Amino acid sequence: MYEKTSISMRKIQFALILILFFFQSITTSNLFAQQLAPHFNKEELIDMLKITGNIKGTLLTNDIEPPKAYTKVYESKEIGLANLWELWYNKERDVSVIAIRGSVGVKESWLSNFYAAMVPAQGKLQLSLDENFEYNLADRKDATVHVGWLISTAYLVKDMLPQIDSMYQLGHKDFIVSGHSQGGALSVLITAHLYQLQKEFKLPQDIRFKTYTMASPKPGNMYFAYHYENITRDWAFHAINTQDWVPEVPLSVQTMDNFNEINIFTSLDQMLQKQSFFKRIFGRILYNKIKNPPMKSQKRYEKYLGKIMFKQIRNYLPQLVEPIYASDNNYMRCGHSIILQGDKEYNNKFTDPKNTMSHHRHQAYIYLAEKLIE
């Protein structure tokens, strides 16, 4: 009798262990599924479009409902060149969102775009007599970035870091950085800066940053893009509507100087020296005709989009010291591209020749994102 009871008790205990193991497995699986993970996620993209469409002051997005799972927990003041960001939080997933506003209808916001000379991706901006912004956005010395957006980045990051620390102290370690249009370009530079802070142990190593940019213009040159895409890997994505003109700007100029140090042009003199006199003369003339026009264009860009535009910037940031510009305007897009391709139905719904922003608006991007097949 005692033996039978003992066997029955062991069966009950074993059954209880199996039940506990089963529920633990479900709980662990669900928890894991909710964590921020690498690789593109369609629903995350749509949520980011809806959140950035609801940032205070964002233009032409009144009919977009914010995602129900997210709550806004912080809103910055306007800083820098009319920049603003918000912090949103998803309790179900324990994910925080750093949402960065795009251009708005005031002059200084657009000056941030048009101040489009480039500066080295490593250096220091003197924002005032007693405040510097030191940055290292790429390891390569030949990496360059858009100076107007770098200035905006400096002001935004200063406001963001205390909020990131507050969330971390509460145990929240997963962050999505996101922005539409100008906000997308700023998201790229801010992501690069946050990664560098982690590399320098100025931010906790166990914070995870994932980035979604939408309709973003090009924030830096090819060597910055190489670095950014290498450090972010499967953690940074850029959604592009193929009919949107904004991802095609700023205007880019590639000169003979925008190549890796070892290239075919460096050996041109040696090649020409082996030719006859008249072939050398003809070759040199032909080479200069190809080389000089883009060089002249780049110098004009540096003058008008750099030095002259800086005079306008000083009206809003009077203590900002003019940086030294890089001789570069070879802009490239950054991040793993998520291509949103419209069809006849899309064109009938969104194409408006009288509205230059018809393909740039959040609504167009949300429509195309919802049709994506992962």
Give the pLDDT confidence of 218-233 residue by residue, as tens digits.
Answer: 999 999 999 999 999 9
| pLDDT of the residue at 56 | 96
- 164, 87 Cβ separation under 8 angstroms: no
Could you give the CA distance from residue 264 to residue 91 in angstroms, rounded to a whole number? Answer: 55
| pLDDT of the residue at 16 | 47
Domains along the chain?
Answer: 40-370 (3.40.50.1820)
Q: Who contacts 112 (Cβ-Cβ below 8 Å, separation ≥6)? A: 80, 81, 82, 83, 103, 148, 149, 151, 152, 182
Could you give the CA distance from residue 328 to residue 209 in angstroms, rounded to a whole number? Answer: 29
Give the residues across from 132 on adjacent strands. 126
| pLDDT of the residue at 137 | 98
Flag residues of the chain having pLDDT under 50: 2, 16-33
Could you give the CA distance from residue 359 to residue 170 in angstroms, rounded to a whole number? Answer: 40
What would the two tokens of residue 55 be? 């940032």
Secondary structure tally for the chain: helices H, strands E: 11, 13
Could you give the CA distance from residue 146 to residue 135 in angstroms, rounded to a whole number? Answer: 13
Could you give the CA distance from residue 116 to residue 59 in angstroms, rounded to a whole number? Answer: 22
Give the residues across from 336 on adjacent strands. 237
| pLDDT of the residue at 226 | 98
| pLDDT of the residue at 12 | 55
The three-state secondary structure class of 10 is helix
| pLDDT of the residue at 25 | 42
Q: What is the DSSP letter of 304?
A: I
Q: Tell me: the pLDDT tens digits for 150-199?
A: 999 999 999 999 999 999 999 999 999 999 999 999 999 999 999 999 99
